[in-house]
Structure 1
Amino acid sequence: MSLLRQTFSGLLLAALTGPLLAAPAQLGPRPFFLVDDMAPSLLRQELRACARQTQQYTRRDLAIGHRGAPLQFPEHTRESYLAAARSGAGILECDVAFTKDKELVCRHAQNDLHTTTNILATPLAAKCTTPFEPATFDATGKLLTPARAECRTSDITLAEFRTLRGKMDASNPAARTVAEYLGGTPSFRTDLYAGPSSGTLMTHAESIALFKRLGVKMTPELKYPVVAMPFDGFTQEAYAQKLIDEYRAAGVPPSDVFPQSFHQPDVLHWIQHNPAYGQQAVFLDDANTVADLPTREQLKAYKRAGIHIWAPPTFALLTTNAQGRIVPSQAAKDARAAGLKLITWTLERSGVLADGNNGFYFQTIDSAITREGDVMNVIDVLAREVGVIGIFSDWPATVSFYANCKGLP
């Protein structure tokens, strides 16, 4: 083989097996639209000046791809992960569930296949815990019972799971047919990237291999099962351990992994039995209101137990002051005082803002959200005043742009 051909072959092999997307992040127009939509402020001036610069934007760890980039791409699919990395996410999330044969796969819940995949339109629908049941109506057309179904990863084998395609997470409660039920995508999202040739589902191990090639860090969430545990002899502890074992088998250093769970015993298992990986274990908080948040003493107890990172929903870390400005909440101050690092979830998931009712994630600061651009103020307070180390987002470019402009990791 000539030297020229040897050189070309080497370059081709590197392109096929080396890190993907080594190019700078491609942020697209959304971050710049949000900056232009901000009310006049010093922050707006700074971000607009940054936007005018001809700099290269790079991926940032502050931007965590929540399920990938599900604002536009079907969650937990290869296409969604690629979009998240391209748009600047430095960390990507695989939510982990298990199949009937106890293999780990990327799904937000063990029982969401009926809303996030095409399973109901395939022969595998017969294996669902609850096959499709159409909505019923009275003689006037009033909805009596909504359409329903429940399909679990544990209903099918890994081989069967691989035959499915991902779709945007949605369902139509008024559906009379499977085709109608599989619709219902919110208007602020899109089905443009959810065609039959996309929506590639992934195992946990496949996500690890992809993330390594992308050169990003990883934050797997162990989803609590809806089936009784042990499942066919598979204990909760074995489930938690298998997640870590797949990172070990892939040679991923603990510094690149942030394992997370809402179930505290999972986090403590990692800390006690896998201390290298447990150092970055994330205890997720499922509080629905401020009243549900842990007390100062409980936060201190987390730290004493070896938990270093607490991850509550965004509303938990923010409030407004007497002037109506967004500021750190008492819970945020208490967590920092306890020595905890903070991650929060989730931006770009509330649809159109400034409608006076922005829902769960902004419940403590809704009065301060008056336009789309105010999301940049939210990011600024989270990063600069609360001091979070990561922000989950359904469209990571928004956070990545801010982090690039502020010189944050």
Structure 2
Amino acid sequence: MANYKLWQRYGIEMEYMIVDRNTLDVLPRADVALGKDKNGEQLSDVEHGPIGLSNELVSHVLEFKCAEPVDSLKHLGKTFHHEIVKANETLKSINAMLLPTAAHPFMDPAVMQLWPYDCLDIYQAYDRIFNCKGHGWANLQSTHINLSFNGDEEFGKLHAAIRALLPLIPAVAASSPFLDSKYCGYLDGRIETYRHNQEKIPSITGKVIPEAVFTYKDYEEQIFNRVKADIAPYDPEHLLNHFFLNSRGAIARFDRGAIEIRLVDIQECPDADIAIAEWEVAVLKGLVEGAFASENEIRALDTDALAKILLATTHSAEKTVISDRDYLKIWGIDASEITAGELVHKITDKVKSKISTHSQELLAKMFRRGTLASTLVKNVGADPDRDDFVYEYGRLAHCLAENRLYGID
């Protein structure tokens, strides 16, 4: 994305689990979907026109991504879905299929298998340092969006806006309420496990909300240099790049002129993911254009306060009551408190003209239904057994296969 200005280019990445079609047990068989080259060597990356497929870290996850940055997100869900259908067809040969949502409800992460091909030395280093046999590494699927910027001025505007947006993301996108065959206590269990997966070296994830830094120089000094210094004793071979190590909820990729938002739980179908991505872009545009507050007010938001709101929305998603007056002020809210869901509605009303008609329609249905996590908790029940999960998550797999929303008649 280097040299593209703000709002000129986007990149989307979507991660799905590979599971047995009948039992929904995870299957470490991304190799089947990725295939082999003409010499019979295993591929780790393939491109099918506008969409690339790849594997990262674990063998039961398949990633779909834009092969090249795109200038619009409109109709991109259909493009992703086309490749998802093809991958599912390939996986039928081993009685497997793709499963959506950000966390498998009954996977034992101890059965995780590292991807044994490209980048194995890097994955082994991560496993040695952090032990990847936990939900925070082996069982968290997300939708990433990359947004282009050019130079410090655009970076500062975009980074400030993203920091303000991040605490609201679980209120829109939470889809991971179950871990270890039970309700995990959080509607966004993925973010909760993500917060802790690198506690051995706290500077890598920070407080998930990035620090209030708005230039390359400040980012280098306050974030990258700390990460590089803290990882050094654990990585004598210098395998781990600071761009990849940085695990905040949004990471600056100065090497490619983009900020990548990593906080979004993946949904039940790509149309839903693209609708949320369009919503993110619309809200960020509103913030940058001054539709809600001044740039100085947005930059002044306290990192600890934002992290506290994020922790609350991680727990309760759209039902979270937000009472931080400084935070509400930047959205133009005069009330002393408001639920995250109500706040999302008010924000969306202000920026919906920046969202495609199709995604507006989907978002309206999703907001009426509630987050995927809330809907799953309601449908699966308080004391689910394995059969309950297999049935309900089987329905989700059908939603993915057909590119339609879950829980909406």
TM bracket (short chain):
under 0.3
The structure that is helix-richer by fraction is 2
Q: Please, what TM-score do these two structures have when normalized by structure 2?
A: 0.27
